[in-house]
Amino acid sequence: MVSLRIQNKSKVGLFPALFLVSMFLLISCGGGDGETDSDCAKAFNSSTGEWECIGDSSSGSDNSVSSNLASASPSIQPTAVPTPVISNETEAGRELWVFLTKCVSIDVAHLEINTATKGDWLVKPTSNSPQEFGTWLIKPSGDLIPHNGKAGLWDSYIKGNCDTSFMSPSATDVQNEVGAATALWTQLAKCHPELPVNMLIAQKSQQTGDWVVVSDPSYSMDDYGVWSVERDATIKPLNERAEEVWAALSLSSDEVGSSDPTETAAGCSPVIRNLEEAKDRMYAFLSSCFPELSQSEMKTNRDTIRHVWLVVTDEPYADNTSERKKSIWSVDGEGRIQARNSSAKATMAIVDAGNC
């Protein structure tokens, strides 16, 4: 019984001791200031080496931890990709058509569209388009960029509120090779009626969109030079020989290319324009001393290198022997005569001296 009482007393003394130990542990863990950490999220603070609560705006240490975490993982903003204004060739053609028709009526079907590099488009007039508006580069962004000189003129013309000082839209429709050759022939034939239209060859320039017209080398008549014929029938000489012919026509670039260039009058400074006129000029020169000569017996050809007429005559010698001369002469467009061999020089001396 005595030992039982001793054990009961020991148990009674043990409970107060356990209670005191529990209170000590609670106070040492921070429970004494009324805060608990069981209901907060924690993060390790590398600067202090301790775990700290985060998300509480009232704690300065919590704010520093949050800022550290935010700086450790910055957000990445996606790069915005612009949506293209032009996405296909139909839209590219329509964009240029809207721009061009601010000043000129153009059928949208007269636009030929081709895909270029880097998603761009090249637009030019079709072969049957009455307007030569040049070649344009269309960007997906909607930018319209002139791609050759003709397009540059149209760009200035339209941006200048349709100012015709930059250019004038086509009035005469030159659409193909035959039309270009005929437009030039219409001018040349005013002073060169013997010139057949088939002698002129036209080819379209991919660079300018104009027609380049030259003389067909298979014809032995003459070389009339290299010419440019634009869609509106404006004619321009491109080399020295064409400039000579142009000057002889007495036409100006302002006159040709008007509303009806076929009505422009030519000065026709050449006196001699064909074979028959070259023969007539020779007969007029020789007839004072050799009236028996006949134009029909003269042989005439064209020197396409010197651009003169060559005439061969067979006038008799001064002693009236049966043998006749073979004199060669040249007659230029102005009617000037030159002796081309010794026989012609002897005859010219007789005529000039009047010693017939």
pLDDT of 254 reads 44
What's residue 6's pLDDT? Answer: 43
Q: Which pLDDT does position 120 carry in this prediction?
A: 92
3-state secondary structure 97-136: HHHHCCCCCCCHHHEEEEECHHHCEEEEECCCCCCCCCCE
Cα–Cα dist 281/337, whole Å: 8
pLDDT of residue 259: 40
What is the pLDDT at residue 33?
45
Stated pTM of the model? 0.43
Q: Between the CA of residue 348 and those of 288, 299, 314, 327, 355, what are the distances in Å?
A: 12, 18, 13, 10, 11
Amino acid code (one letter) for 141 = S
DSSP state of 148: S
CA dihedral 158, 160, 163, 167 (to 10 degrees): -60
Helix spans in 231-332 (H): 240-249, 275-286
pLDDT for residue 269: 55
Q: What is the pLDDT of residues 278-315, one digit of tens each?
A: 898 898 888 888 888 888 888 988 887 788 889 999 88
Can you list the residues of the chain whose pLDDT is less than 50?
A: 1-10, 30-37, 56-62, 65-66, 69-70, 72, 252-266
Looking at residue 321, its pLDDT comes to: 59
pLDDT tens digits, residue range 59-80? 444 455 445 544 545 556 666 5
Q: How many residues would you count in the chain?
A: 356
Work out whether strand 337-339 and strand 327-331 pair parallel, antiparallel, or are unpaired: antiparallel
- Which is it for the CA torsion 58, 63, 64, 66, positive or negative? positive
pLDDT of residue 352: 86
Long-range own/partner contacts, residues 147-154 (CB < 8 A, 24 or more apart): 147/122, 148/207, 148/208, 148/209, 149/208, 150/208, 150/209, 150/210, 154/100
Q: What is the pLDDT of residue 50?
A: 73
* Closest by Cα among 339, 344, 315, 340 to 327: 344
What type of residue is 325? K
Phi-psi region of 323 (alpha: psi -120 to 50; beta: other; left: phi over 0): beta
